[in-house]
Amino acid sequence: MLNTSTDEYQEVISAVQGFYARKDSAHNLEHALRVRDWGRKIAQAENAELRAVELAAILHDIGRSGTLEKTHAESSAALGKNVLQKLGYSEDLIQKVIGAVVSHSREGGHEPLSLEAKVLYDADKLDFVGPIGIARLFTWGGKEGKPFFGPNSCEEFYCERIRNYANHLFTDSAKKYFMPLFEYSEDFWHQLSKLKA
Ligand SMILES: [Fe+2]
Ligand SMILES: [Fe+2]
């Protein structure tokens, strides 16, 4: 059980807990808080606005089971805007946060434009490499009924999506954190593919 009672953003975390409780464990509150930790490290190195990055990370996946007309990033942005408005955050900060949330995934064609949006984008990708990334991939793949190998598999998702992240990160700090974790993932897949039936 997470103890966030002394957290600076405790009110926001409490407000989003219910949304994340309905997600698979690859996209739950723990994921959001790991992304926030990565975001904080990258934001400090890149001189991005810390508050906007932290709030965006906490909110970024709350809309994953939203309506089909919207991407999960668009749903998260709409829900996140509501949460922040109810808690009395300034419109200026809300705009920055929501701009980052809506572009943390490229599904809807939203490009990360601000530095804070780029930091969130990169921070989210760091949670898909290394030991945590592998654990998340198989947790999510299991829920989706994906086999390890072959068409529409965990391996295919790794090769077509996660491997591409290596060339699509925005910030130098994220690249520095990404590479050793990515090498771990590459080695894991190399070892696993030797065991293919
Ligand atoms: Fe997401
Ligand atoms: Fe995410």
CA 186 to centroid of ligand 2, rounded, Å: 21
CA 33 to centroid of ligand 1, rounded, Å: 13
CA 124 to centroid of ligand 2, rounded, Å: 5
CA 59 to centroid of ligand 2, rounded, Å: 9
Ion ligand 2: residue ranges with CB closer than 5 A: 61, 124
CATH superfamily of 10-193: Hypothetical protein af1432 (1.10.3210.10)
Predicted local confidence at residue 1, as pLDDT: 52
Structure confidence by residue, pLDDT tens digits, 85-109:
999 999 999 999 999 999 999 888 9
Predicted local confidence at residue 61, as pLDDT: 96
CA 37 to centroid of ligand 2, rounded, Å: 13
Give the pair of three-digit tokens for residue 9: 């953003």
- For residue 166, the number of C-alpha atoms closer than 13 Å in the C-beta half-sphere is 16
CA 123 to centroid of ligand 2, rounded, Å: 9
Distances (CA, A) of 95 to 37, 101, 114, 161: 21, 10, 11, 28
CA 107 to centroid of ligand 1, rounded, Å: 10
| Cβ-contact 49, 95 below 8 angstroms | no
CA 62 to centroid of ligand 2, rounded, Å: 9
Considering every ligand atom, which ligand is closest to the CA of 36? Answer: 2
Describe the crossing of helices 50-59 and 115-126 by its angle, rounded to 10 degrees: 50
Predicted local confidence at residue 108, as pLDDT: 84
| Cβ-contact 57, 32 below 8 angstroms | yes
Q: How far apart, in whole angstroms, are the C-alpha atoms of residue 33 and residue 38? A: 9
| Cβ-contact 98, 63 below 8 angstroms | no
Q: How far apart, in whole angstroms, are the C-alpha atoms of residue 197 and residue 185? A: 20
Considering every ligand atom, which ligand is closest to the CA of 28? Answer: 2
Counting as low any pLDDT under 70, the low residues of the chain are 1-4, 66-68
Where are the domains positioned within the chain? Answer: 10-193
- For residue 159, the number of C-alpha atoms closer than 13 Å in the C-beta half-sphere is 12
- How many of the other CB atoms lie within 10 Å of CB of 58? 27
Which letter, b or e, does each residue of 109-143 get, where b requires 16 or more Cβ atoms within 10 Å of its Cβ? ebebebbbbbbbbbbbbbbbbbebbbebbeebbee
| Burial of 57: CB neighbours in 10 Å, binned 0-12, 13-18, 19+ | buried
Considering every ligand atom, which ligand is closest to the CA of 33? Answer: 2
CA 5 to centroid of ligand 1, rounded, Å: 25
